[in-house]
Structure 1
């Protein structure tokens, strides 16, 4: 083979090599883009609350929960989970309104018996009306949680009945000490009001429900 033909052959081989290299690089970039697009939303470090606009951190060290999807300021959530917490398979994506509080039982039921488990938020989707139970995060506003608890006293009967049918015990006035101890942990003050819980509720109402002048 002449030097000219040899150079031409080598040049063609280099061009072919470059084409293969470019194709592999392009494919790798496409695959990376697809992986990024499929990445679960809960893996993001923050999200914007669709209700109050707060930028919310999902860092487990701050929230104390692994699958944070509600706002610590207004407690509103987003319908992102379908079958279990953290699966992020729901297509609804609508806002979820906090409607009350319950407690988690060891049997994973949300019933009235032994109302001393972990305090949980009850959410209802504003679009499809699905009910979900969510863990309270470490940085959630205690004042907002108490406000939610008190507002739930006026829940409509139809919604109350729906919670009962789903085995969810809505915490009410009789559960004040459970609410108070888990939110504030002031055991000494709690014991002081143990025999007169209505006085404790009055004090909390003044602090968290009275409009600021």
Structure 2
């Protein structure tokens, strides 16, 4: 007897196009913490590794945390169209490489992006159907200042600059599909997980759905 692969109708699985799950927030509002929790708890989503011109921080690994490049290399890659989006933040350039992400989406891989509203806008303009945009808000501006101060890593001048930038970033909240107030990290994480689960089930992303339904509709023996 000839062995055949199980059909989607018999296994209950469907082919799916991947998505680009974007989380943005002002500094101190929790996007980095939530991003790390997502990567630790969900094996089906991976971090999008950006290119950057800033120097590596202690413990960071080239190719894992970032692709560290010179400004000359970065500019050449931008001119060659190798990036999906790029921006300059605090004097350093950041960008999302195009080839790996587009190939992964086709194979059903989900990508997590921790980027600002400018990068979000660029990605949405280029790959709208693949993008899910989530913006995290602090419960109050006073709490945001407390969190930034509590880090103990920045001077008062730097914190003042981050607070000014935060107000500007918050003004772009309406450019996102979902807005979540991060007043409790556990509750916020649960809400973000629900958003991701729902987006994965969107009919437009179920690339194997047509064949699956046709098989279900075949006349019985």
**Shorter-chain TM-score tier:** under 0.3
Q: Which of the pair has more CA radius of gyration?
A: 1
Answer 1 or 2: higher relative contact order, Cα 8 Å, separation at least 6. 2
In the superposition, the TM-score normalised over structure 2's length comes to 0.24
Q: Which has the higher strand share?
A: 2
In the superposition, the TM-score normalised over structure 1's length comes to 0.25
